[in-house]
Each structure stands twice: as C-alpha cells, then as structure tokens.
Structure 1
C-alpha cells in the first residue's frame, strides 16, 4: 500500500498535518490506534499561556523571544518566532475550513470559563462557550447555571459560587429534570455527556427543555449548561437559544467531551472530503529503516503487508496514547527507537506536589530544527515528529499543547510539500 505520506496518530497534530498535505494534493493515510486525546479535551486550544519561569503570558506572539531564551529546545524556539506567527494564523484558517466556529486571536489570549466557574487563559475557543477578555467581564450581570439532574460530572452550584467570587455576577445554580433522560439516568454508567447529547439533540425534546429552562432561569440574562448538547452540529443549541429567548452557553464537562469530539469529527470529515484515508483502530508496530530512511511500516491490522510512503510523520502522542513508553530502564519511543529527551534517574521524573510542573511532561522525541526525528543523533531524512510525542515543553504548565501540535503540523506539511515539489 503506497501513499505520499503516512501519518502515525489521529490526534490534533496528526489530523492537521494530514489535512494540510491533502489540501496540497498529497495522498495521505492516517493510522489511528483509538480515541485521540481530543475526546478528553475542553474544545479550546492553547497557544502560550505561561513562560517556563511561571510568568503569565497575555500576548503569545510577543512572548516568543523570551520563550526562546528560557527554553531553546521548545518546538516554537526550533521553528522560529516569525514562522510561529505565520503558522498560527494559518492554523486558525485551517480550522475554519474544517467548519469549526471559533473565537480568539494569536495576538492576545482570552479567558474561557471552566466547569468550576473559574477562568483559564487560552487562544481559540468554540463560540458556544462563555469567554471574557483578559481584563474584562462577562457581558451579562446575571447568569443561571443549570446542571442536569443525576449528571454528576457537573455541579452547577459550585460553578455559580465561583462565578460570584471571580466576576461578581449574580448567579443561581439549579438542576434540569427531563423525563426523556430517565432511561439513561437509571444506568449511571450510561449517564454521560455524549449519551445525554444524543437524547437532548432530538427535536421532540426541544419544547420540554425550553419550558424547564425558562422556569429555572427566571430573570437571568443568560444560561450556562454543561456541554451535553450539539453532538454533531450547533443546530440544537441555536434552536434552544431562539426558543428560550436568551443566550445559552456550554461549559465543558469531564471526558468524554462533546466539544472535543466535535473538534475531532470536524477534522476527520475534512480529511476524508479531501480524499485522505483514515485507518481507525490500527497501530504501527515496527518499521523498516534503510540508509537513514523509513522504507516500510507494519501495522497490527495489515500484518506483513507494509505501508510505504515517501514521507512519514510521527504524531503518536505521549504516554497517554503509548507514543512514549516508560520502562524500568527509561523512556523510549517504541516504533522507530528514536532518541528521547528524558532523565536517567526515575526519582527525577516527577514531583511530589501534584500541582507543580512535572518533569516527565517535557520528555519526548528529539528533533532537529526541521522537526525531523533523531535516531542515534542523526536525523532520519523522511521521518518527522510533531505534537505530544516531541519533547522540550510542558503543555500543561506552559499552556501550549494545542499550539505546538497545530503549528508543528503545518510546519512539517509545508516542508514536505515544498520538498516533493522540487525537481
């Protein structure tokens, strides 16, 4: 099976890279082992929220020079500030072409409202969730935060109390009860955001939900609900807002995340519209390497039939998705045996303070400035590494995980397209 490019990993980095290549006419295949980390995300995308020394970042692009000084091996530092600025614009445009309706700018972060009613700095957010400027407030003076009776992954009173303390808005917390959810409610293992959304998205449930929300919201100017609505599209939320007659916003819930699933589905749909091949439930087990080039990939589902490509992109994720594996002997990349940035002493991998930056989050595959993966200190000429499998940054403490994935993906896609276009 021959392709122009095989991408290993169906998360944000892998899908964005494949889409970027497919838009330039490349025949791409994405090998995806299972649910990507997007299913566990809030749906918002971070660019850079904090420097390694803990300094908060208001303007991500303006902070890149200081980031390069503090973290020269950060992917942004390897790519270069001018290139990061250009690619972050292009990433937002790519997401728009995927049909995603997002708010935000790479010039200045905004604050999204979390399920706890606190605020967190980010780059791009779905337009369905409530946000504020960094120094601004919500556009409403009173908000009704309404949970779903029996849904334990979202506590409306907790969020309402936090909003009072953080923003000074008048809030009230309450619970929504709909008989249509009774069957799910009787089975706690099924009473999750995705399954609730499948029920609430049905047109016949709009009127009962509208009536109950009107009663619970009272004179509140806006309504905040857990993100258990709009699994496939925004139409159910748009219809609900029109029926209720006031803004309705969604707050992310614990995984699986409806907003994260929407993001992944939009990326997959765009890839397949462009003719890309998506191989779900498969994983690359080993590779043939000859003279510094990857010549064949062997997957679980294809057995001894290799996937062959001119270029290969490794976007297999970190420990969460087994893109990196931690053994007693150390941390390794399991498919190609690539060089990995880590620490020799296991005691140095983590800190006892759960909320402190954890060193292991910066472990990952070593790359050169073109993001080609290194093996025994030498770059494999047709293997690139992007996203969470790479090292040199802390996606949580620095608030840059999605940006590293998207910018690295487009950086590599454009390099491959330029290289393939040369005589």
Structure 2
C-alpha cells in the first residue's frame, strides 16, 4: 500500500493532521492502536486561546461544536484550571466561585465520580454543597459487574434514560442554583446534555470522571467519521512494529496485523502520544521512542524523573522526542527528512506550541503545513 502520508497514531494530533491533509487532496492512512489521549480528554483545549478560523472549521465540519470563553474550568477533584476553548457542553467560568448553592448528584455504586472531593473543592471557594445519589432501576444490571460501572457503559444507558435523571434531580432540588452531574451524557446523542439543561430549573454543570472520557470518545468518533468521509484510510487496532529507514529517509513501515506487507509513504507523521499509548517507553535506564529509535530529551539521572510529591508536576511527563524547527524528528542528532512529530510524544521540547490538547492541534497543523509545502 502506498500513501502520500502515513500517520502513526489515531489520537487528536493524528486526526487533525489526517483531516487537514485529506482536505488538501492528499491520500493518507492513520495507523491506530486504539488507545490515545482522547480517552483522557477533559473537553478543554488547554493552551489554545482564541483559535484560528481553520481550527473552528475543522471541528465544526466534523460535528464537534466549540465555544471560546476565557476563564477557568472545573476539574474532577474540585480544583480549577485556566481554560478558554472547549467543547460546547463543557463549562468555562469567569471565576472559580460560579455558584451560591450546589447540588452534586451521582449514581449509586458509581465510584469513578468523586462527589466528596468536588464538594470539598467547591466549599473552599465559598459555595455551599449538598451531595445526593440516584438509584435508577436501569443501573442495577450494571452494578452487578464492577467492569460495567464505567463511564462509557453508563453513558450508553444515560442516553436512553436521561429524562428519568431530569425527573429525579427536579425532586431532589431545593434552593440550589446549580446542579453538578457526572460527565456521562451525550456519547451517542449529542443533544442530551442540552436537553438536560433545559429540563432542570437550575444551572447544570457536567464534571469529569475517571477515564475513559465520554466527551473525548465522542470527539474521537466524530473526527474519525469525518476523516473516513474525506477518503482517509483508518487502520484500527494495529501498531507499527518495524520501519525501513535509509539515508535519513523513511521508506515504509510494517504493522502487526499486516505482517510482511509494508505500508509505503512519501511522508510520515509520528503522533503516537506519551507513555499510556506507548509513544514513549521507559526501562530502569532510559526513556526511548520504540518505532524509529529517535532522539529523546530526558534526564539520565533516574532519580530526577519523578517528584515524590504525587500531586506536583512530574518531570518525566516533560520528556519527549527531539525535533527541529519544522518538526522533523531527530535521529542521532540529524533530522529525518520526511518524518514529522506531532502531539504529546514531543514532551515539552517545543513550548511555543503549548501543552496538552492545544499542543496536539497546533503541532498537527504545523506538520501538515510542512508536508503541503513540499
């Protein structure tokens, strides 16, 4: 198989690069293991301020609606983080004290939504909180197996019974001006969060849960559909196991599923993410990039990889593949002519592109732009 560009990694960076190149008439393929940072996506594009119009267009054409409102967003543990650009159903507040009285509602038996932490965090901001649990008959089957009481399984149920949730919350509601619900609505029906807000006579805020992220999965589904509609080839559940590189040029890659059939490309984009998706791998002695053996920026002193204070910034999260100004990957100090790097596999090597989802979008567009220059 031969493509103009082969993208390794099907997360946010890989999708944005693939859609951009397909819109420009390029023939592309995305090779995805299935696990990526969108499974952890909060719904907010960190470090992206007011976006370029082409970013708004790219997402809206895929059915992903965004809104821009500089402020702070509520985190799963009741803390706040600066934000500006987010999915339509993700609230961004002018300040951390966004309500007077808050009703926090969870589902009985669902332990991936931290009601008590949220209450503690909001009360520290001067808000009065009350926590209550819903016991819906539709949840009883899920409760029989701990593996079923996860965000995705609950979301599939909630898209069918959200009206019952509205009714139960209306009964619980007293004099609170805000209701906080777990972010488990709208996986398959994007209209559900809006309908819930219309049905409850108070402000409704959806707070994050443990992964997988429902907004992240929904975003991935819509971007994948858009990419394939444009003509892109999406190889799901596969991974690159070998690469043919000669004289500083990548010629082809082999995947686990396709065995000895090599996938050729004029250009390649490495968007494999960080440690979770195995874009970076570590052992007791080093941090390395497993596909091409690229240069990685990391501290050789293993004791400097982590901070004993668990909640503090962890140095190893900043390690990443080295790249030049055009995002060409570096190997043995030299740029690989047709291999570009995008997303979190870069670590913090290129701070001008921002962090998290903002970095994924910016670096993906930069890599695509560099390819289109050729």
Tell me, yes or no, whether TM beats 0.5.
Answer: yes
Partner of 1:156: 115
The equivalent position to 1:121 in structure 2, one of 64, 75, 82, is 82
Aligned residues: 373
Does 2:344 match 1:388? yes
Q: Secondary structure at the match of 1:320?
A: coil
The answer on 1:248 being equivalent to 2:204 is: yes
2:268 alignment partner, SS class: strand
Preserved contact between residue 88 and residue 403 of structure 1 (Cα < 8 Å): no
Aligned residue in 1 for 2:62: 98
What residue in structure 2 maps to residue 192 of structure 1?
150
Contact map agreement 1:252 1:259 (CA 8 A) in 2: no
* Other structure's SS at 2:93 match: strand
Cα distance in 2 for residues equivalent to 1:296 and 1:314? 13
1:278 is aligned to 2:234: yes
Query: In structure 2, the residue corresponding to 1:310 is in which secondary structure?
Result: strand
After TM superposition, give the deviation of residue 131 of structure 1 in Å.
2.4
Deviation per residue, 1:85-114 (Å, 9 max, x gap): 8x7554344223322222225xxx420012
Q: Kindly state the Cα deviation for residue 290 of structure 1 after the two structures are TM-superposed.
A: 2.1
Cα displacement string for residues 223-276 of structure 1 (whole angstroms, at most 9, x for unaligned residues): 210012111232222333333344432111001111111121122121112111
1:335 maps to: 291
Deviations 1:9-63, CA, capped at 9 Å, x for gaps: 0111111111111111111110001221211222222117xxxxxxxxxxx6xxx
Structure 2 spans left out of the alignment, 5+ residues: none
Tell me if the contact between 2:36 and 2:276 (Cα under 8 Å) persists in the aligned partners. no
Contact 2:186–2:192 (CA under 8 A) maintained in structure 1: yes
5 Å-filtered alignment, 1:348-367, equals 348-367=304-323
Is the counterpart of residue 169 in structure 1 residue 133 in structure 2? no
1:257 to 2:216 alignment? no
Note the 1:163-312 alignment, pairs <5 A: 163-166=122-125, 168-202=126-160, 205-312=161-268
Inter-partner Cα distance in structure 2 for 1:324 and 1:210? 43
Of stretches 355-364 and 382-391 in structure 1, the one that deviates more from structure 2 is: 355-364
Cα pair distance change 1:92/1:186, threshold 3 Å: same
- Verify: 1:406 aligned to 2:361, yes or no: yes
Q: Distance in 1 between matches of 2:92 and 2:11?
A: 25
Residue 14 of structure 1 is matched in structure 2 by 14
Describe the superposition over 1:329-360 as per-residue Cα deviations: whole angstroms up to 9, x where unpaired. Answer: 42221111211112222222223232333222
Question: SS in structure 2 opposite 1:368?
Answer: coil
- The root-mean-square deviation of aligned C-alpha atoms, in Å, is 2.3
Q: SS of the residue aligned with 1:262?
A: helix
Q: For the structure 1 residues 289 and 201, does the alpha-carbon distance in structure 2 shift closer, same or farther, using more than 3 Å as the test?
A: same
TM-score under structure 1 length normalisation: 0.82
1:35 matched to which residue of 2?
35
- In the other structure, the counterpart of 1:416 is 371
CA gap of 1:255–1:389, structure 2 versus 1, over 3 A, is: same
